[in-house]
Amino acid sequence: MQIDLANTNALVTGASRGIGAAIARAMGRAGARVAVHYHSQRDQADTLAAEIGQRAQTFQADLGDADACVSLWKAVTERFGRIHTLVNNAGIALSCPPEGDITGWVRGWDATMAVNLRAPGILSKLAVQHFIEHGGGRIINISSRAAFRGDQPPYLAYAASKAGLVALTRSLARGFGKSGVLAFNVAPGFTRTEMAEDFIRQYGEDYACGDIALSRLTEPADIAPIVTFLASGLADHATGCTIDVNAGSYVH
């Protein structure tokens, strides 16, 4: 079956690289017009938007800033009109060692929560309002395996932020399903991106591979088709669910 996103508009946050870029590319290929959000990598975002075509456009915002989240949503809806799918993908994984000083640790905690949880919260709040006014829509949140099994001690904030995203998704699904708003959570395991490179440097690739049932690490392109499928409307009765994409980590 061919996934068809023609005549739909999507905002993908953190689409300049990694998992977000793969999602934006896949949604574009399926026919969606994509708002390619980026923070610092303008050139990569521009290149991707040009590759996607379909009148894709780039939008800059620091999602660590609450006002910038609101401005991003405003800019995208002004330019695109109706949005059908919001993909909250942008995220950071700051290492905050527990033995570090408390001031730095709290700074890391706050920065992580702002980008990974507050920003998806703000964008979801605005999207829900927009979806209710325009006949519905879908929110797809990119959480993490860390939400369910925890993470290494330097990534306590990261795991907690991703667990918050799961509860946000479920609450959106519960609260707004009857208003035509669907919400899904995708929880990748270890995926080969720049974010993962930091982890690989710290713990080694063998550590990451030792954790999975498959013989190669997950790539961003392994995540993207699932998001495209969720955006298509073919899985609406799975609203509130989490799809694990972790190379069989839980059955290993």
- Identify the DSSP state of 88: E
Q: Is 232 in the site for ligand NAP (CB under 6 A)?
A: no
Lateral strand order in the sheet of 57-60 = 57-60, 33-38, 9-12, 85-88, 137-142, 181-188, 242-245
Q: Which of 45, 164, 144, 142 is nearest to 89 (CA)?
A: 142
CB under 6 A: which stretch of 48-56, 75-83, 128-136, 188-196 binds ligand NAP?
A: 188-196
CB under 6 A: which stretch of 3-11, 26-34, 184-192, 231-239 binds ligand NAP?
A: 184-192
Give the containing element (helix H, strand E) for 210: none
Judged by CB under 6 A, the number of residues near ligand NAP is 29
Q: Which of 27, 38, 96, 117: binder of ligand NAP (CB under 6 A)?
A: 38
Q: Which of 36, 92, 182, 212: binder of ligand NAP (CB under 6 A)?
A: 92
The nearer residue to ligand NAP, 4 or 65, going by C-beta atoms, is: 65
The nearer residue to ligand NAP, 2 or 40, going by C-beta atoms, is: 40
Give the containing element (helix H, strand E) for 76: helix 66-80
Q: Which residue has the tokens 């699932």?
A: 226
Q: Which of 91, 26, 32, 90 is nearest to 59 (CA)?
A: 90
183 φ, ψ (degrees, to nearest 5): -140, 135
Name the minimum Å distance from CB 8 to ligand NAP: 22
The nearer residue to ligand NAP, 63 or 139, going by C-beta atoms, is: 63
Q: Is 99 in the site for ligand NAP (CB under 6 A)?
A: no
Distance CA 28, CA 4 (A): 10
Tell me if residue 250 is catalytic. no
Binding mask 46-85 for ligand NAP (x = CB under 6 A): ---------------xxxx---------------------
Longest dimension (CA), the chain: 54
Give the catalytic positions in this structure: 158
Q: Which residues bind ligand NAP (CB under 6 A)?
A: 14, 16-20, 38-41, 61-64, 89-93, 115, 142, 144, 188, 190-191, 193-196
